[in-house]
Amino acid sequence: KAGVTQTPRYLIKTRGQQVTLSCSPISGHRSVSWYQQTPGQGLQFLFEYFSETQRNKGNFPGRFSGRQFSNSRSEMNVSTLELGDSALYLCASSLQGRRFGSYNEQFFGPGTRLTVL
Amino acid sequence: TQLLEQSPQFLSIQEGENLTVYCNSSSVFSSLQWYRQEPGEGPVLLVTVVTGGEVKKLKRLTFQFGDARKDSSLHITAAQPGDTGLYLCAGARGGNEKLTFGTGTRLTIIP
């Protein structure tokens, strides 16, 4: 079974531009989560989508947005890029929705390395 | 506020030595996971623990979930260069709570 794929793997943008990152989850997985990883802040949760609906959101400004399509593929968009947005953006998929007491086993993609100049 | 604190932050030891990495929180988690991440790649899930006091073994790696489900440890026996990487713990508090990641431990095994 193919793993989580993310495109592109590397991206260089300049301040003020916008960027769209793509994530294809493992086949059959309906939940997709996005994370930002930086040396200073570690791995921080951006948002989670399940069945095309945003189910959870982290503490990031509105410049960060996402969506999920009917085939569970997800995109993340960052508008008006800032230097501080330079990071590794990770996508993770999991099998199904979580119920109380269940645990969320996530499988990560290789990430998109975004550099903002 | 970082909910999950890992220690040590950096660890560099000789091949063949034993080591323990800690993941601590003041919050209770319904489950806790450990991941290993190598440069240029995403984290890879090693184990999930869900019961207080639970111990799981994965070859030379032993994972323990604290009785109160607030902390966890990862013990590696006879470390090998292939164990090098960033180790991350991550906790979930049940229901639809998002996964919270720890601060990470960067482990280097010297041949």
Burial of A7 from C-beta contacts in 10 A (0-12 / 13-18 / 19+): exposed
Q: What confidence tens digit (pLDDT) does each residue in B43-63 have?
A: 999 999 989 999 999 999 999
Touching check for A30 and chain B: CB below 8 Å?
no
Query: Are the CB atoms for B27 and B18 separated by under 8 Å?
Result: no
What SS3 class is residue B12? strand
B31·A48 Cβ contact <8 A: no
* Among candidate residues A45, A115, A108, A102, the one with its CA nearest the CA of residue B99: A45
Q: For residue B39, name the pLDDT band (cuts at 50, 70, 90).
A: confident
Mean pLDDT (chain B, rounded): 92
Question: In this predicted structure, what is the pLDDT of residue A98?
Answer: 52
Alpha carbon distance A32, A92 (integer Å): 6
Helix, strand, coil in percent for chain A, rounding step 5: 5, 50, 45
From chain A, the residues in CB contact with B43 under 8 A are 43, 90, 108
Q: Do A110 and B41 touch (CB under 8 A)?
A: yes
Give 10-residue mean pLDDT values along chain A (117 residues). 91 97 94 92 91 90 96 96 97 71 75 97
Give yes or no for B85 touching A (CB within 8 A). no
| A42 bridge partner residues | A38
Nearest chain B residue to A103 by CA distance is: B31
